[in-house]
């Protein structure tokens, strides 16, 4: 009788998990309907055209703005480079490594090409959301704060619609960076570390929670300082290993690039039949990896001290390039060159079209196998350490995104902030209870919900965006260091976060009277 009771409990547990998996997959299919991919690409093309390819024209400005030093002494603010490091730390992680490998599994080598297109066009979307995040930032508990909820509620003409969208976005943040995404990241880190070192899932999960908790309790300044130190080092080490893999397999580089381009357009004899999967999975994994349009980056970049919103937009556009054109490309090439991948015939994974890595689970294992076959088992161990640190910096970014959202909803309440930080750490542990096949749909749902709400909102804010960009371009054309006066473009600065730069603009002699548009004050 006792055994039968235990058996029933076990069966109930399995059935409940199967039901959970089914629900997650169904919701994911709805959120990431093919219409979503079309919508995101149309938005990216729209902003590219309206900004006249600013993400390409102003590449030199990106580097210059990245190295600027903020001089805000009143607020707890990040420097442009700290914000860049924090958002890059948030972007680079499972999306670049496991996500790129998953795109290849589901869509073949051609998926890498469509990830490139997503990055080039999506950089404009990433710039736009961060420009708006900066323009509408405010002050809370002595820290600069802002993000989509702020520019939705303050910027959209129909205030009721703006507030509804802001609340929907906040809900999406709680679903995404608050719950589903941390669980996905913890599960990926635990899988990599267990595979390389044999350390149990629970131990890895607890270790991650403790380290993240120590840093996040220190607030945005400590998060920025840690990210500023870790992100460049780990990114550099990872790229160095990728270069080694490419050098070892250098003779295959031309054929791999040929396969990427041929399969992207259905010209490859093997992968021609899954060109649709290459397109959809390339776009999906591209937007998942680079965060363009989902509203995560503005939550961080709004805390930056900079003299003009467009400057931070350019910095964040550059981070999209680093994420996808550099890191994802190196990951994809390494897997393809090493030949440690499989490709699904149906875009689902039930039947394999190509099987180069027999018995290997798709995702992070493709990259671990590539490193192991090139530089030995030490390579798999090194990847586990690198991925753990990447995921750690990503968790820091998620934590602050959730915290910033709470500041919008509850204002200056330090107890709410502390409670949310603790709740976030609890959610992180949930990942060790979920299997790998379930975790990616969960992550996709989190990102997808944010993408729908935020991308729709920034499209509505195009008129405000264009006034801000024209203000920047005008000052650049005059050879001036762009300084931002919100009143000039019709934005109220209730907290006075831009006062310092408005005063500098007045002293410089090019202060503009809002009543006269872009004409100088006589």
Per-residue pLDDT tens digits for 474-519: 998 888 889 999 988 989 888 888 888 888 877 877 666 454 344 4
**Residue 2 maps to a domain:** no
21 located within any domain? no
Q: Which CATH number is 408's domain given? A: 1.20.1740.10
The pLDDT confidence band at residue 469, using thresholds 50, 70 and 90, is very high
Least Cα distance to 387 among 102, 189, 171, 142 occurs for: 189
pLDDT tens digit string along 290-302?
888 889 889 888 8
Quick count: other Cβ atoms within 10 Å of Cβ 74? 13
488 lies in a domain?
A: no
* pLDDT tens track for 356-365: 888 887 887 8
pLDDT of residue 512: 63
Q: Is 257 part of a structural domain of the chain? A: yes
**Residue 96 near residue 327 (C-beta atoms within 8 A):** yes
Q: What is the pLDDT of residue 193?
A: 87
Residues 6+ apart with CB under 8 A from 227: 82, 85, 86, 88, 89, 393, 396, 397
**What's the mean pLDDT when you consider all of the chain?**
83
Q: Which two tokens stand for residue 494?
A: 């209730």
Of the pLDDT bands very low, low, confident and very high (cuts 50, 70, 90), residue 458 is: very high
**pLDDT tens per residue across span 79-131:** 778 777 777 766 777 778 888 988 899 888 999 999 999 999 999 999 999 99
Residue whose pair of structure tokens reads 């595979």 in the numeric block: 195
List, for residues 356-406, the tens digit of each pLDDT value.
Answer: 888 887 887 888 888 888 888 788 788 888 888 888 888 888 888 888 888
pLDDT at 224 over 60: yes
How deeply is 280 buried, as exposed, middle or buried, from its count of CB atoms within 10 A (0-12, 13-18, 19+)? Answer: buried
Residue 504 belongs to some domain of the structure: no
In this structure, of 181-185, 202-206, 257-261, the range with the lowest mean pLDDT score is 181-185
Specify if 9 maps to a domain: no
Task: Tell me the β-bridge partners of 139.
Answer: 144
Is residue 158 in a domain? yes
Q: Which of 51-55, 70-74, 90-94, 289-293 has the highest mean pLDDT?
A: 51-55
Contact in structure between 367 and 383 (CB atoms under 8 Å): yes
| CA dist 226 → 38, 83, 232, 389, 425 (Å) | 37, 11, 11, 11, 18
pLDDT classification of 308: cutoffs 50, 70, 90: very high
Cβ(341)–Cβ(105) below 8 Å: yes
What residues does 355 pair with on adjacent strands?
A: 342
Per residue in 120-164, pLDDT tens? 999 999 999 999 999 999 887 777 888 999 999 999 999 999 999
Q: What whole-number distance in Å separates Cα of residue 194 and Cα of residue 201?
A: 7
What length does the chain have?
522
More confident residue, 290 or 74: 290
pLDDT at residue 314, rounded to an integer: 94
State the pTM of this model: 0.86
Q: How far apart are CA 488 and CA 469, in angstroms?
A: 12
144 phi, psi to nearest 5 deg? -70, 140
Domain that holds residue 400: 32-40+76-452
- Residues 469, 426: Cα–Cα separation, whole Å: 41
User: Cβ-count burial of 354 within 10 angstroms (0-12 exposed, 13-18 middle, 19+ buried)?
Assistant: middle
Contact 83, 301 (CB under 8 A): yes
Number of domains present in the structure of the chain: 1
- CA 91 to each of CA 49, 191, 297, 445, 457: distance values in angstroms, whole numbers, following the listed order: 25, 19, 9, 17, 22
Q: Is residue 278 part of a domain?
A: yes
Q: Quick check: 1 pLDDT over 50?
A: no
- At 248-299, the pLDDT tens digits run 999 999 999 998 998 888 776 556 567 788 888 888 888 878 888 889 889 8
From the CB of residue 203, how many other CB atoms can be counted at a distance below 10 Å? 13
- Tell me the Cα Rg of the chain: 23
Cite the DSSP H helix spans in 321-363.
329-338
Is the per-residue pLDDT at 7 higher than 70?
Answer: no
What is residue 385's predicted lDDT score, i.e. its pLDDT?
86
Question: What does DSSP say about strands 342-344 and 143-145: parallel, antiparallel, or unpaired?
Answer: unpaired
Question: DSSP per residue over 279-297, as a string?
Answer: HHHHHHHHHHHH-TTSSHH
Phi, psi for 411 (deg, rounded to 5): 70, -150
Nearest to 47 by CA among 460, 499, 500, 482: 460
Which long-range contacts does 210-217 make (Cβ < 8 Å, 24+ apart)? 211/392, 212/392, 212/395, 212/396, 212/399, 212/425, 212/428, 213/421, 213/425, 215/396, 216/396, 216/399, 216/400, 216/403, 216/421, 216/424, 216/425, 217/418, 217/421
């Amino acid at each position: 009788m006792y055994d039968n009771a235990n058996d029933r409990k076990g069966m109930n547990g399995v059935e409940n998990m199967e039901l959970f998996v089914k629900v997650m997959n169904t919701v994911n299919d709805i959120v990431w309907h093919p219409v979503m991919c079309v919508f995101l690409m149309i938005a990216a093309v729209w902003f590219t055209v309206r900004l006249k390819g600013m993400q390409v024209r102003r590449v030199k400005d990106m580097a210059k703005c990245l190295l600027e030093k903020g001089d805000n002494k009143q607020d707890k603010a990040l420097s442009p480079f700290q914000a860049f490091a924090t958002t890059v730390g948030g972007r680079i992680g499972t999306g670049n490594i496991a996500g790129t490998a998953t795109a290849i599994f589901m869509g073949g080598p051609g998926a890498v090409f469509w990830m490139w297109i997503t990055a080039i066009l999506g950089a404009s979307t990433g710039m736009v959301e961060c420009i708006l995040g900066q323009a509408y930032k405010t002050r809370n508990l002595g820290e600069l704060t802002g993000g989509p909820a702020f520019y939705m509620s303050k910027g959209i003409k129909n205030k009721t619609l703006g507030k509804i969208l802001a609340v929907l976005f906040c809900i999406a943040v709680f679903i995404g960076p608050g719950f589903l995404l941390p669980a996905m990241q913890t599960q990926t880190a635990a899988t990599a570390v267990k595979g390389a070192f044999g350390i149990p899932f629970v131990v890895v999960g607890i270790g991650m929670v403790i380290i993240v908790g120590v840093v996040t309790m220190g607030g945005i300044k400590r998060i920025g300082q840690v990210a500023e130190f870790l992100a460049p080092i780990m990114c550099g080490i990872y790229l160095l290993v990728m270069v080694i893999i490419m050098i070892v397999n250098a003779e295959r580089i031309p054929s791999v690039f040929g396969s990427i381009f041929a399969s992207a357009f259905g010209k490859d004899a093997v992968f021609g039949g899954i060109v649709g999967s290459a397109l959809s999975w390339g776009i999906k994994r591209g937007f998942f990896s680079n965060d363009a349009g989902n509203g995560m980056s503005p939550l961080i970049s709004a805390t930056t001290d900079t003299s003009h919103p467009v400057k931070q937009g350019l910095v964040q556009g550059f981070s999209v390039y680093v994420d996808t054109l550099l890191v994802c490309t190196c990951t994809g090439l390494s897997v393809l060159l090493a030949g440690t991948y499989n490709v699904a015939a149906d875009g689902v994974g039930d039947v394999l079209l190509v099987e180069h890595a027999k018995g290997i689970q798709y995702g992070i294992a493709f990259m671990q196998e590539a490193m192991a076959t090139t530089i030995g088992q030490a390579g798999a161990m090194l990847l586990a350490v690198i991925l753990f640190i990447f995921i750690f910096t990503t968790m820091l970014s998620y934590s602050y995104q959730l915290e910033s959202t709470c500041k919008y909803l509850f204002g200056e309440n330090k107890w709410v902030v502390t409670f949310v930080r603790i709740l976030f750490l609890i959610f992180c542990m949930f990942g060790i209870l979920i299997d790998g096949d379930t975790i990616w749909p969960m992550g996709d749902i989190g990102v997808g919900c944010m993408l729908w709400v935020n991308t729709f909102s920034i499209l509505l804010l195009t008129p405000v965006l264009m006034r801000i960009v024209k203000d920047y371009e005008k000052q650049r054309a005059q050879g001036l260091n762009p300084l931002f006066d919100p009143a000039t473009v019709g934005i109220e600065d209730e907290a006075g976060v831009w006062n310092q730069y408005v005063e500098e603009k007045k002293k410089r002699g090019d202060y503009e009277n809002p009543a006269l548009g872009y004409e100088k004050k006589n």
